[in-house]
Amino acid sequence: MTQETVKPLTLTLGHLYPDQLNLYGDRGNILTLRRRCQMRGIELRVIGLGIGDALAPDEYDMLFIGGGQDKEQAPVAQDLYEIKGIGLWAAIEDDMPVLAVCGGYQLLAHYYRPAEGPDMRGLGVFDAWTIHKGAGVPRCIGNVAISWNGTTLVGFENHGGRTYLGTAKPLGRVLKGHGNNAEDRMEGAVYRNTYGTYMHGSLLPKNPHFADHLIALALQRKYGIKHLTDTHNDASRHNGYGSKEQQTEKALPATAEELLSLKNTISDQSEILKPLDDTLEWEAHASMLERLGLYNAASAALRTLKG
């Protein structure tokens, strides 16, 4: 009897401009996503997309764009608009999760006006624009914390450009730091499942809840359910939904095909990603909040860890 080949759950992430846009440890975001998937039995494939490479949206489940200096952004801006624009727009409108940091964030708005030289045309995903007011205006540098989805996000920012939102929804409200422009207390922008932010650090290692949010969006889009409660390997040892004590949580099916067939049987989609040991991540998160004087927020973060 031929043993049936079990196909693991997989996600494919397109990393746009990994050589040109990779400031302040932005690659750590990729490492975090890969590790958090791996610990749940999900394979995350990462494919770099450089200048000149087309973006075929049906080949990816997530996209990431990092930050870079002005001199690096000019050729990227042209390539993004002329080569990858159509594919990226199609992915965004199809609710693919996209994370764009700093320079990548700026290029998803209408335009970036540098201190010197012509404007760089953006894709206009966010109704926003960015203006660098010149060397005489201090840069927005330092640790930053924002409110997000009933909790907090922390990171590090270093940008000369000031981003102003039109009708775009902000990612969050600045609790400490500069955010988009050091004026209106707004940080980042959101359109569908696309998130733009100035937070480096890198962002995802100190914000495991945001990393899991992106993973959950990708899983929902590909496999039809929002969240998963068990790892691929653990679930393969169960029959159905397991013991009586386990019946309140639906186990992850053993194959991608089983998961695809299961999506139509789940009505409330209330499952959650299997919790990981994020002690160090939440302690780092709380430590930054404490350094910023946000003691109540730090306490809330530690309560999340204990919970």
Q: Cite the active site residues.
A: 102, 200
Q: Is 139 annotated as a binding residue?
A: yes
Q: What is the SS3 string spanning the chain?
A: CCCCCCCCCEEEEEEECCCCCCCCCCHHHHHHHHHHHHCCCCEEEEEEECCCCCCCHHHCCEEEECCCCHHHHHHHHHHHHHHHHHHHHHHHHCCCCEEEECHHHHCCCCEEECCCCCCEECCCCCCEEEEECCCCCCCEEEEEEEEECCEEEEEEEEECEEEEECCCECCEEEEECCCCCCCCCEECEEECCEEEECCECCCHHHCHHHHHHHHHHHHHHHHCCCCCCCCHHHHCCCCCCCCHHHCCCCCCCCCHHHHHHHHHHCCCCCCCCCCCCCHHHHHHHHHHHHHCCCHHHHHHHHHHHHC
Which residues fall in the annotated binding site for substrate?
A: 139
